[in-house]
Amino acid sequence: MKEMIQRLVEAYGPSGNEAGIAAVIQEMVRPCVDDLRTDALGNVIAFKRGTGGGVPVMVAAHMDEIGVIVTWVDERGFLRFAPTGGVSPVTLMGGRVRFANGTLGVIGWERWMRPDAGTHRPELDEMFIDVGATSKEDCPVGIGDAAGFVRPFEDLGNRLVAKSMDDRIACAVSIQALKEIEDTPNDLYVVFTVQEEVGTRGALTAAYGIEPAVGIAVDVTMTGDTPKARPMAVSLGEGPAIKVMDSGMLAHAGVVRWMAATADAAGIAYQREVLLGGSTDARAIQTSRAGVPAGCISIPCRYVHTPSEMVDYRDVLGAVTLLAALLRGPVTL
Amino acid sequence: MGQDRTSGASEIMRQMMELLSGEPSELYPVCRDILATYPSMGSLWRLANTAFLEEDAEAAFQSLPEADARVIRQGRQVLTEEAVVLTYSRSSTVKEILAGNPEMVSRVLCGEGRPHGEGRRLARELSRAGIHVTLTTDAGLLEEIPEADLVLVGADAVPGVIGYAPIHLIPAAERAKAPDMSKAVIDIGATDKDGAEKLVSQGDYVSFRGEWAVLDEEGLRTVVAKALDDRAGCAVLAELLCDDYAVDLYGVFTTQEEVGLRGARVAAQRIAPDVAIVLEGTICDDLPKPPEDDISPVTRMGAGPAITFMDRSVIADHRLVNLLLRVADENRIPHQFKSAVAGGTDAGAIHLTGTGVPSVTVAVPARYIHAPISMLSLNDFDHAVHLVRAALHALEGGLPS
């Protein structure tokens, strides 16, 4: 499964530019689903038909990643940019980005050498991307082109580090769960959503079309286990987290109970999660149409929205086992 | 006069003029009584001010009926033979326009105008002039709108100015700061609460009063006006609707965009379009900057319509962006990108309706938007019409992949 994770996290796909990662995912899931389609916004919807007696279940793992988009090319070929999703300037200095056409760029910021650097917080509009061009004319990318971050996947044993663990690790979990399910009474719609990082947009339209009876997002969550972390009762290596609440959603109590009971029955270690900042596709699914009972399985992740997001492989395997057990059904809310 | 609740402002003004002669001391009680009776007729206030303030009030009075006559002449020019005209309440100016040209009017649709029933009076008068009139309840008038070729209504308004402490009274330390809206007032010339409440009520809407003006007849053909965000887009859409297309085109003039894309959301839900093109007047910040500052203006005036690749509300559909770029190149239409991820448009609501709608925004650059006056180039406007028209024709075969 680590090879699959590496392929997923290293693929290109900033919000709104998911065609590359979509092709990778389609190739991976095609053998284990009955239908595969892409909707108007670019969501990849993998369908596995139930054997009957179940309900339609939607699983959402977002395939977009945070990135940047070019807003201006100056006369000397430097690019100004805006973020796609929650990008903090402190994570960018000296970083590298790659565009859809393969162009590599370096993020520059001169102020760190100035006397006031110690008190000055970097701003995105002070930064620029240098793609090695010398003029506007020889610049291989232009306004509106988006780039993702570049950072290789590293296997530290139990811990895995990469860019875009948020949320490719959940794409990997969802694909692996699909592979491990032989039969289920439920019609399964596993959706690899677009544009989560700019406001859970893809999940909203996907859920509208699917009209599921229950929705499960799979996403990363933050942890409280680093030296001066804000207190949070989620740690790496303690198992997948069952979300109770985040800043955009109160998980459906029945879904939380169903997830916990399923984990207990299967002997899967899990953590209960209350996340104070951030939300997931479950928020969009929950308020779609007349409302959908929704919850979220989270993979604990350190350094979220930096180019080096860290997860624990045992939590990943636990999440696969839990998701597969849930989808095998029956759904009991 | 006080018994008359059905005459329009123009007629009351003519009667008032006859009463306004003599010394200012005699004029004052007359003006006060008339204005107290018809507080919402803005033209009466103007007349009173003229009587007191103009050196040659007599001459100014003479010009006022002439102004009314010009409005009537203008109104008659918009009448076409067989026109079905919808009006509301009773404006004597509208009455003159219609009754003076009965042969150019096939029918008039009129609401009764509760509570005083001014519309009923207008219907009687037009009937006597030989015009076929359909009188409806006020609410029923809405149902008649599809029948109408033309809407003609009289307009009164209460003018006001936005007041702030004069600079002399602002402490030096605060002069460099932006004015604080909570310290600004709208002054409608009333001297007490009762007087103000006769003119306006809590909850009344107020719009800015930016006069349309052409600044530059040649060159960029710049004009100034209020509300170019987004009446520029409305005007582009009106132009586009004059053409025929292979695709079914729904031209929606949306409500409540400025308070959260609300009108577009429900319109898109009902229409369920395959593709959406949002027309806008967008930020244009091309004012002089330090020459070494080679960073983006959002748009530049005169550089053509701006295509949005992303803003705070939407990431534009790549197929539509590429289609616009292609038809712009093929037809040699100047164009630019809106080169900042700023602002939001109806596309933010439309693209998320139903199972999702590929959407893009095309905007006429407009300086000073969200201020009482804004400026655009009619060249950019024409190019926007040209670009979107060409794109709509290019959509004939569906959305390219």
Domain assignment of residue A32, yes or no: yes
Instruction: Tally DSSP H helices, then E strands, for chain A.
Output: 7, 18
Beta carbons of B355 and A143 less than 8 Å apart: no
Beta carbons of B352 and A80 less than 8 Å apart: no
From CA A163, how far away is CA B233, in angstroms rounded?
41
Q: Which of B312, B313, B287 is nearest to B299 (CA)?
A: B287
Task: Give the residue from B309, B335, B351, B357 with the most A CB atoms within 10 Å of its CB, the best one to mutate.
Answer: B309
Instruction: Quote ipTM for the complex.
Output: 0.88
The per-residue pLDDT for range B191-202, each reduced to its tens digit, is: 889 888 878 888
A77 to chain B, minimum CA–CA distance in Å?
11
Same domain, A202 and A281: yes
Q: Does B265 touch chain A (CB under 8 A)?
A: no
Same domain, A170 and A56: yes
The CATH number of residue A241's host domain is: 3.40.630.10
Residues of B in contact with A144 (CB under 8 A): 309-310, 321, 337
Alpha-carbon distances, residue B201 vs A169, A333, B284 (angstroms): 59, 53, 36
Mean pLDDT in residue range A30-55:
96
Q: What is the DSSP letter of A108?
A: E
Domain assignment of residue A210, yes or no: yes
Query: Of residues B49 and B96, which shows the higher confidence score?
Result: B96
Residues of B in contact with A83 (CB under 8 A): 341
The amino acid sitting at A247 is S
Cβ-based neighbour number of residue A27 at 10 Å: 10
| Strand partners for A59 | A190, A216
A313 to chain B, minimum CA–CA distance in Å?
34
- Least CA distance to B337: which residue of chain A? A143
- Least CA distance to A201: which residue of chain B? B352
- B293: burial class by Cβ within 10 Å (0-12, 13-18, 19+)? exposed
Domain assignment of residue A178, yes or no: yes
Q: What is the CATH number of domain B213-397?
A: 3.40.630.10
Alpha-carbon distances, residue B259 vs B75, B263, B346 (angstroms): 34, 10, 11
- Domain range for A58: 2-65+163-328
- Least CA distance to A210: which residue of chain B? B355
Domain assignment of residue A127, yes or no: yes
Q: Does A101 touch chain B (CB under 8 A)?
A: no
Q: Does A198 touch chain B (CB under 8 A)?
A: yes
- Long-range Cβ pairs for the range A260-268 (8 Å, 24+): A261/A332, A262/A322, A262/A325, A262/A326, A263/A239, A263/A322, A263/A325, A265/A325, A266/A321, A266/A322, A266/A325, A268/A239, A268/A240, A268/A318, A268/A321, A268/A322, A268/A325
Report the SS3 class of residue A117.
helix
- Using only C-alpha atoms, chain A has a radius of gyration, in whole angstroms, of 20
Domain assignment of residue A194, yes or no: yes
Q: Does B310 touch chain A (CB under 8 A)?
A: yes
- A266: burial class by Cβ within 10 Å (0-12, 13-18, 19+)? middle
Mean pLDDT in residue range A210-223:
98
Task: Phi first, then psi: give them for residue B244, nearest 5 degrees.
Answer: -105, 145
- Least CA distance to B293: which residue of chain A? A74
The per-residue pLDDT for range B80-127, each reduced to its tens digit, is: 778 899 998 888 889 989 988 888 888 999 998 887 888 999 999 999
Query: Of residues B302 and A117, which shows the higher confidence score?
Result: B302
Same domain, A199 and A226: yes
Mean pLDDT in residue range B138-148:
85
Mean pLDDT in residue range A121-130:
91
Question: Pick from A149, A171, A195: which residue ends a domain?
Answer: A149
Query: Cis peptide before B230, with omega less than 30 degrees from 0?
Result: yes
**Residue B178: is its pLDDT beyond 80?**
yes
Q: What residue spans of B139-271 are helical by DSSP H? A: 141-144, 172-175, 193-199, 228-240, 262-271
Mean pLDDT in residue range B376-382:
97
From CA B252, how far away is CA B98, in angstroms rounded?
30
Query: Of residues A162 and B29, which shows the higher confidence score?
Result: A162
Same domain, A189 and A212: yes
pLDDT for position B134: 93
Catalytic (active-site) positions of B: 257
Same domain, A84 and A221: no
Beta carbons of A143 and B337 less than 8 Å apart: yes
The amino acid sitting at B120 is R
Mean pLDDT in residue range B126-141:
91
**Residue B147: is its pLDDT beyond 80?**
yes
Fold of B73-151: Rossmann fold (3.40.50)
Same domain, A313 and A216: yes
Report the SS3 class of residue B332.
coil
Cβ-proximal residues to B227 (8 Å cutoff; 6+ apart), any chain = B207, B208, B210, B374
Q: Does A82 touch chain B (CB under 8 A)?
A: yes
Residues of B in contact with A40 (CB under 8 A): 355-358
Same domain, A171 and A243: yes
Question: Pick from A149, A173, A192: which residue ends a domain?
Answer: A149
Q: Does B355 touch chain A (CB under 8 A)?
A: yes
Same domain, A197 and A138: no
B351 to chain A, minimum CA–CA distance in Å?
8
Question: Pick from A123, A149, A175: which residue ends a domain?
Answer: A149
Query: Of residues A216 and B153, which shows the higher confidence score?
Result: A216
Six-digit token pair at B214?
Answer: 């052409």
- Least CA distance to A197: which residue of chain B? B315
Same domain, A29 and A71: no
Beta carbons of A209 and B310 less than 8 Å apart: no
Same domain, A58 and A84: no
Residues of B in contact with A69 (CB under 8 A): 309-310, 341
Q: How many residues does chain B have?
A: 401
Residues of A in contact with B353 (CB under 8 A): 205
Q: Does A71 touch chain B (CB under 8 A)?
A: yes
Domain assignment of residue A181, yes or no: yes
* Number of domains present in the structure of chain A: 2
Catalytic residue, candidates A196, A238, A273, A309 = A196
Domain assignment of residue A154, yes or no: no
A20 alpha carbon, distance to own chain's centre: 15
Judging by DSSP bridges, how do beta strands A271-274 and A241-246 pair with one another? parallel
Domain assignment of residue A158, yes or no: no
Same domain, A6 and A60: yes
Q: Does A6 touch chain B (CB under 8 A)?
A: no
3-state SS of B252-294 is CCCCCCCCCCHHHHHHHHHHCCCCEEEEEEEEECCCCCCCCCC
For chain B, domain boundaries: 9-63, 73-151, 213-397
Report the SS3 class of residue B189.
coil
Do residues B250 and B273 touch, judged by C-beta distance below 8 A? yes
The CATH number of residue A116's host domain is: 2.40.30.40
From CA A122, how far away is CA A112, in angstroms rounded?
8
Q: Which of A318, A45, A57 is nearest to A169 (CA)?
A: A318
Same domain, A135 and A256: no
Beta carbons of A208 and B355 less than 8 Å apart: yes
Q: Does A208 touch chain B (CB under 8 A)?
A: yes
